Chains A and B, each alone.
Chain A
Amino acid sequence: MITTALTDLWHGFGVALEPHNFMWCFLGVLIGNMVGVLPGMGPLATISILLPLTFGIKPVGAILMLAGVMYGAQYGGAICSILLNLPCHPPHAVTCLDGYPMTKQGRGGVALGVTVFASFVGASWGITEMIFLSPVLVKAALQFGPAEICSLMLLGLLAGSTLARGSPIKGVAMTVLGLMLGIVGSDIETGAERFTFGITELDDGVELVALALGLFGVAEFMNSVNQQAEINTKYTNVRMRDMRPTREDVRRSIFPMIRGTIIGSLCALIPGTGPTIASFVAYATEKKVSKTPELFGTGMIEGVVCPETSTHSSVQGDFIPTMSLGIPGDAVMALLLGALMIQGIVPGPQLISQHPDIFWGLVASFWVGNILLVLLNIPMIGLWVKLLTIPYKFLFPSAMFFVCIGVYAANNDMFQVGEVLVIGILGYALLRLGFHPAPILLGFVLGPRFEENFRRAMLISRGDIMVFIERPIATIFISVTVLLIAAQIYFRLTPGKKKSIAALADPGAMVEQPLAAE
């Protein structure tokens, strides 16, 4: 088992180091790092813009590049948090707490240096996890029938929507809305046109790129225009030699790094608990095990290292359920899965055996990409820091153009640009009403496959809904789902929760129960 994984990985390196693929990977992490640094730009919008532009290249190159944007943005996001105290990238929001005080003490460079190294450690562990765990998962998942796939999707959808930010019930509502948007268009089995309201352009369904850019582009810009905090460029003078940590820093970072890695890789395995939750849990844990918890928030290096390591470990680990089971954990993964589907590749357990070049090439490219990111971030830190000073008033109009041209390029059709407009208005309304739109994308991508498998399961069982309780594996998924909901209700009804870091980390405490049940 281990030897086959290692030989496959060797082939993967062959794929990832092909000049073309290497170039796409480099381009991906470069763009990712750039948008990660820019306050107010997210990896989601960037991947959506790049998505139509990758139609012309081979699936391997496309997915390497889009994935590179995802983890590249994580490296850049830390710079923004540590030097500017701007929590514009959710997974790095906690890093502000101790990263910015370090900057104020003139140790911002050290924080960045340690972060880059910690990120690499976390990511490496996440990749290792993926190499050895994915084949095992796939082996189990290949036995799944439609009923099992269906119940697993249900678990993924509910976990993805209830464990994310905000109210769980609103999250579920967003998932259902996403499923609804996924229904629009021609029905796969009967060809009936559903919810197109006579608009022929909607026959092929709502465009994924338009949906993603409406929700995470236009709506986000409406949300943050003229609401930007004044950018304080006082501390953005970081050079490479400032990044060298002292021996004391290194000694204090080792154990938080290990703890962060473990937390991140555990969070990655639970659907719905992405990097953001991992980082909050990591910070809370680090504070708990520390001998001096009262010093947290004053520039403790542990408070920077641990969340950052866990974020990166979780980001890489998030690819496990996405690539091996075809169940995305969050919106970015849903988008990457959508990119695969547009390229004509069916995600699911058969992906590794049918397209080994994509899977193992991707795994190998993670390592290539992470090494590139370390090389990009340490010597070129001065350049990235310069990017921080680009004002938002230049960023969002340029981004609007990329949104428009990106959506247009998806089908060379102006109708989709109009779609972005409508979805953008809807997305902003949802944001103002306290919804977090990320689960919409999850429901949208999984929706058609969920419907297909549900119909098939019902056909096989001759219309007996009990099939979900009678088949053992399906029963496990369903009972974990029920436990998840029960735990949510229990924690909602438990009084005395205040909005603190500890409370934000609560979703993490909640998921331990369903995990134990597995």
Chain B
Amino acid sequence: MSSSDAPPHSPGHTDPLLLGLLEMLRKRDFYAGLLMIAFGLLMAIHGPTYSLGTLMHMGPGFLPTALGVILIALGVAIALPAFLPLLMGALGEIGIAGARRYVERAEAEATAPTGEHEGILPEHPQWFAWICILASPLGFIIFGQYLPISGLAPATFVCVFVASLGDRTATWLGSLLLSALITVFGVALFHFVLQIPMPVLKIFEWSVL
């Protein structure tokens, strides 16, 4: 039934079930549904440990459990359309020609260069920029409290500097100037005007400001 002797990845000769599976894994809603199911499971499993109570005297675990079950149902409903290619693949596998054609068409559409892009990652992933943006609050935490030389000023500088490197057109000088500017402004506004209780600069136990 299956024509497994043909080379893979040439549309029209591949295993329909495999094609259906690949097509399903390409669908964004498949992962969206899975994520919701995961959150739902977390609540539905963890919820009952807080005592459910009765409907009249509800315990702290009642609502989380109920919400967990609802979220699982929603997750299944979100993921359901993504299972269509897999189902069609399975039908194609047992010899239904229409289902087989459906899967092959879907495969052709997805691999075509002009095909609609439904990836999880954007067309041009910005890994470096993302890391910079995420590293920026991390820098704020570390330089704000956990280093021998810490405080508002170094935290601000690092936070802005690291984030600004994420831009494609960033230059070292531009980033340094921007960070210095924001540091001066930030310290003036948040320390002197708004009086946020965070030392401006602390070297070991010795507060500079």
Contacts and interface: CB of A to CB of B under 8 A. Distances in A.
Nearest to A214: B137
Contact of A455 (B58, B122, B152, B168): B58
B197 interface: yes
A187 B60 contact: yes
B186 A225 contact: no
Contacts of B129: 222, 225-226
Give chain A's interface secondary structure class.
Answer: helix
Nearest to B126: A226
Contacts of B163: 221, 396-397, 400-401
B160 A401 contact: yes
A147 to B, nearest CB: 14
B140 A404 contact: yes
Contact of A176 (B31, B71, B160): B71
B194 A180 contact: no
A221 B163 CA distance: 10
B182 A434 contact: no
B201 interface: no
B25 interface: no
A218 B198 CA distance: 23
A424 B136 CA distance: 12
B103 interface: no
A459 B133 contact: no
Contacts of B50: 187, 192, 194
B197 A412 contact: yes
Interface in B22-70: 28-29, 31-32, 35-36, 39, 43, 46, 50-51, 54-61, 63-64, 67-68, 70
Contacts of A352: none
A405 interface: yes
Interface in B128-145: 129-130, 133-134, 136-138, 140-141, 144-145
B141 A432 contact: no
Given A194-B64, A218-B133, A393 B167 contact: yes
Interface stretch (B9-17, B74-82, B91-99): B74-82
A394 B70 CA distance: 43
Interface residues of B, number: 69
Contacts of A226: 124, 126, 129, 166-168
B164 A177 contact: no
A414 B67 contact: no
B196 interface: yes
Contacts of A163: none
Interface in B155-209: 155-156, 159-161, 163-164, 166-170, 174-175, 178-179, 182, 186, 190, 194, 196-198
Contacts of B130: 222, 225, 428
Given A53-B194, A173-B71, A412-B196, A393 B136 contact: no
A434 B29 contact: yes
Contacts of A434: 28-29, 32
A451 B168 contact: no
Interface stretch (A72-80, A367-375, A415-423, A469-477): A415-423
Contacts of A412: 196-198
A400 B74 contact: no
Contact of A454 (B63, B133, B136): B63
B147 interface: no
A179 B67 CA distance: 8
Interface in A463-516: 463, 465
A445 interface: no
B144 A414 contact: yes
A409 interface: yes
Contact of A225 (B28, B74, B159, B166): B166
A465 B156 contact: no
Nearest to B169: A393
Contacts of A179: 63, 67
B108 interface: no
B6 interface: no
Given A180-B43, A433-B32, 20 more contacts: A176-B67, A179-B67, A192-B50, A218-B137, A225-B133, A225-B166, A396-B167, A398-B182, A412-B196, A412-B198, A414-B141, A414-B145, A417-B141, A418-B137, A418-B141, A421-B138, A433-B28, A433-B35, A434-B29, A465-B55
29 contacts: A170-B32, A172-B74, A183-B67, A187-B50, A195-B43, A195-B46, A218-B133, A218-B137, A225-B129, A226-B168, A393-B170, A397-B161, A397-B163, A397-B167, A398-B160, A400-B137, A401-B160, A405-B152, A405-B190, A408-B140, A409-B190, A433-B120, A434-B28, A434-B32, A454-B58, A454-B63, A458-B58, A459-B57, A463-B55
